[in-house]
Amino acid sequence: MVPIVQLRYAYRVYPTTPQRRALARVFGCVRTVYNDAVAARRKARAEGLPFPSTAALDKQLITRAKRTPERSWLSEVSTVPLQQAQRDCHQAYRNFFDSLSGKRVGAGVGPPRFKRRSHRQTARYTRNGFRLKTNGRLYVAKVGDLKVAWSRELAASPSSVTIMKTPAGKYFASFVVCVDDGAERLEPLAVPDAETAIDLGLKSFAVLRGGKTIDNPRFFARLERKLRKAQRELSRKTKGSNNYGKVRIKVAKIHERTRNLREDWLNKQVKALVGENQALYAEDLCVKGLSRGRAAKSVHDAAWGRFLSKLESKAVRAGRTFVKVDRFFPSTRLCSGCGALTGPAGLAQLNVREWVCGCGAVHDRDANAEANIRLEGRRLAQAAT
Active site includes 364?
A: no
What is the SS3 assignment for the chain?
A: CCCEEEEEEEEEEECCHHHHHHHHHHHHHHHHHHHHHHHHHHHHHHCCCCCCCHHHHHHHHHHCHHHCHHHHHHHHCCHHHHHHHHHHHHHHHHHHHHHHHCCCCCCCCCCCCCCCCCCCEEEEEEHHHEEECCCCCEEECCCEEEEEECCCCCCCCCCEEEEEECCCCCEEEEEEEEEECCCCCCCCCCCCCCEEEEEECCCEEEECHHHCEEECCCHHHHHHHHHHHHHHHHHCCCCCCHHHHHHHHHHHHHHHHHHHHHHHHHHHHHHHHHHHCCEEEEECCCHHHHCCCCCHHHHHHHCHHHHHHHHHHHHHHCCCEEEEECCCCCCCCECCCCCCECCCCCHHHCCCCEEECCCCCEEEHHHHHHHHHHHHHHHHHHHHC
Catalytic residue among 36, 58, 301, 366: 366
- For 47, 244, 330, 335, the CA distances from 235, given in Å and listed in that order, are 40, 9, 46, 53
DSSP-derived pairing of the beta strands 171-180 and 213-215: unpaired
How far, in Å, CA of 243 to CA of 248, rounded?
8
Query: Which of 297, 226, 298 lies closest to 255 in space, CA to CA?
Result: 226
Active site includes 199?
A: yes
Catalytic residue among 58, 88, 195, 283: 283
Active site includes 283?
A: yes
Catalytic residue among 36, 195, 199, 301: 199
Which residues are annotated as catalytic? 199, 283, 366
